[in-house]
Amino acid sequence: MRNWGVFLLAAVLTVCILTGCGSMGEVKESSSIVVVSPHPNGFIRPLIQEFERASGIEVKVIECGTSDAVDMIKNDEDIDVMWGGSILTVGPFSDLFYSYKTPNEKYFKDEFKSVNGAYTFFTDVPSVLIINTDMVSSKNIQGYSDLLKDEFKGRIAFANPARSSSSFEQLVNMLYAMGSGDTDRGWDYVKELITSLDGKLLNSSSMVYEGVANGKYAVGLTFEEAAVTMLKSNKHVSIVYMEEGVVSTPDGIYINKNTKNIEECQKFVDFLTDKDTQTIIAKTLGRRSVRKDVEVSGLVLPKSEIKSIAVDKESVMENKEKWIEKFGKIYEGAGDE
């Protein structure tokens, strides 16, 4: 994260704090929470700093992939909040989370209002391709089909969808896009893409966008905000919204139902969904807000210019484990269906 982004975030949110908007209220002395998150450090750091400044609550952040974060919630009652991970990936584990609806939800767009309160929508995250412009022209890659060209074999960065929620989102995206809405047909493309990976399957989402930005790979399958972050870091990259169609899925904030710090957790959720915080997230951090009173970032392509694909969220969540298992079998050469 470049310094100007951090300074701007601090300045705007500090003004908000001093004038009383988005007040955190009283908290008990020496309050603290433990947050586990798959978000990039450059995204996490300025927001956590401002929450601590505004609330007086100390935050310990544990950074890891989404699947590891879910496992930590399952196995460690000392984890208070999971911040990040798509609803499609984390949704099946809703029984792990405390039901809380932030007062800010009345300002959310209708599609981002939680039904059962087990999670709070945080931002809207499209799947994209990231290209190293020193290695390949963006004109040569317009979508998924181009990844099957011989010139890209072994030069594609993709993380294991069993470990990365953004990669699972990409798997869902390609199943719907390349199957023209029929996910069974989409597996034909997945098999070809796995061949083009040439045995290179990465262990985390960060290895994808950092690998492309640093020239280890020509192209990667990632999420929008990560690509924007690389652009803002003056990396020679560009973003491609797949011509076959883009699936955009919200990620969430999830409170561990076993937390001993429920008030602090609720304040954390309220802060991250406050208008001022969401505005800064959109303006400087490359994310799409879930609120209807926050303008779309100028750093991203308007939704009206993207070929968007709607998915059956319930069907995706029901099939998640089966699809991940099938992908793994194909990758290991054990599955032909």
What long-range pairs does 45-49 form, CB within 8 A, spacing at least 24? 45/1, 45/6, 46/1, 46/5, 46/6, 46/9, 46/10, 46/285, 47/9, 47/272, 47/277, 47/281, 49/6, 49/10
> Would 145 be classed as within a structural domain?
yes
* CB atoms near residue 140 (< 10 Å): 13
Q: What is the pLDDT of residue 289?
A: 96
Q: What is the pLDDT of residue 9?
A: 52
> Would 294 be classed as within a structural domain?
no
> Would 336 be classed as within a structural domain?
no
Q: What is the pLDDT of residue 332?
A: 92
> Would 298 be classed as within a structural domain?
no
Give the position of tokens 């499209």: 126
Q: What is the pLDDT of residue 41?
A: 83
The token pair that represents 199 in the structure block: 């045995």
Q: What is the pLDDT of residue 43?
A: 85
CA angle 230, 37, 165 (to 5 degrees): 70
Q: What is the pLDDT of residue 24?
A: 53
Q: What is the pLDDT of residue 4?
A: 41
> Would 213 be classed as within a structural domain?
yes
> Would 134 be classed as within a structural domain?
yes
Distance, CA of 105 to CA of 275 (rounded, Å): 11
Q: Which domain holds residue 12?
A: 3-124+249-289
The reply to whether 320 and 191 lie within a common domain is yes
Report DSSP letters for 261-292, one per residue. Answer: -HHHHHHHHHHHHSHHHHHHHHHHS--EESBT
The reply to whether 91 and 153 lie within a common domain is no
> Would 319 be classed as within a structural domain?
yes
The reply to whether 91 and 25 lie within a common domain is yes
The reply to whether 160 and 38 lie within a common domain is no
* Contact residues for 36 (Cβ-Cβ < 8 A; gap 6+): 61, 62, 63, 64, 69, 72, 73, 79, 81, 82, 83
The reply to whether 118 and 23 lie within a common domain is yes
The reply to whether 310 and 262 lie within a common domain is no
Distance, CA of 200 to CA of 315 (rounded, Å): 29
CATH number of domain containing 158 = 3.40.190.10
The reply to whether 97 and 133 lie within a common domain is no
The reply to whether 119 and 257 lie within a common domain is yes
Q: What is the DSSP letter of 47?
A: H
Distance, CA of 230 to CA of 242 (rounded, Å): 19
The reply to whether 215 and 327 lie within a common domain is yes
Residue type for position 63? E
The reply to whether 166 and 271 lie within a common domain is no
Q: What is the pLDDT of residue 96?
A: 95
The reply to whether 269 and 225 lie within a common domain is no
**What pTM did the predictor assign?**
0.82
The reply to whether 253 and 242 lie within a common domain is no
Ordered mean pLDDT values, 10 residues apiece, the chain (337 residues): 45 43 49 92 90 97 90 88 92 92 96 87 96 91 97 97 93 97 96 96 94 97 92 92 96 95 97 96 90 90 94 92 96 65
Distance, CA of 281 to CA of 166 (rounded, Å): 19
Bridge partners, 36 (sequence order): 62, 82
How many residues comprise the chain?
A: 337
Q: What is the pLDDT of residue 198?
A: 95
Structural domain total, the chain: 2
